Structure formats: C-alpha cells, structure tokens
Amino acid sequence: MRKLFVFIAFILCSTAYSQSRAVVHINAEFNKSNDWYGLEIIDDVKLYNGYIDKQPAIKDKYSITKVPTLILFVDGKEIKRWEGGLDMKLHVDAKEVQAEIDRL
C-alpha cells in the first residue's frame, strides 16, 4: 500500500513538472478543513492536490514545512510559493494567484 502512495506521489510530481504551467496544492489530512478554496476559481493551469500524510514523498520533493502550501510551476521550475500561517490557513486571494499566472 505504501508503494502505491509513493507511486502516486511520483506521478503527481512528474506530471506537474511536465506541464508548462501548474499549481500544486499540498495540505495534510488533519488540516483538510483549511484546504485552499481558490482551486476552483483559477484558470489556465493544471491543478494538482496532495496530502502529505497520504503521500509523504511530496513533503520532501517540495520541501514542505507548512500546510497548506500552494506552489506555481512553469516548465518544471518553481515560480512562486504561498505557505500557510500559524493558523494553518493560506491567506492568499485567488485573484492574486490568478494575477501571477496571467503575468507569465
């Protein structure tokens, strides 16, 4: 079962890197109530969602130290990162994220 989760994490990471523009949302199951709401709103990127307790490999892959974390990639390179605060919530507006995407 653990190998399956590692494989899924690998696919998630590989797919995110192979796209020209991608947003990866990473959280933890225990903090699921604080998932970032903006994923349904942003356009023109591939969207990926992962939980570090289900897919521990993504924690190391993306150097996650806070949850939730939102990362914008372009051609496999990290362009921008938004991390949760002490209250374990992401305090970024979807318009701000979309503006970063549109700027590219």
pLDDT for the residue numbered 10: 56
pLDDT for the residue numbered 92: 95
What's the whole-model pTM score? Answer: 0.79
pLDDT for the residue numbered 49: 92
pLDDT of 18 > 80? The answer is no
Could you tell me which residue, 68 or 17, shows the higher pLDDT? 68
Could you tell me which residue, 13 or 101, shows the higher pLDDT? 101
Is residue 58 within a helix (H) or strand (E), and if so which, with residue range? Answer: helix 57-61
What rounded mean pLDDT belongs to the chain? 87
- Domains for the chain: give ranges and CATH numbers: 2-103 (3.40.30.10)
- What's the sign of the alpha-carbon dihedral 30, 67, 7, 3? negative
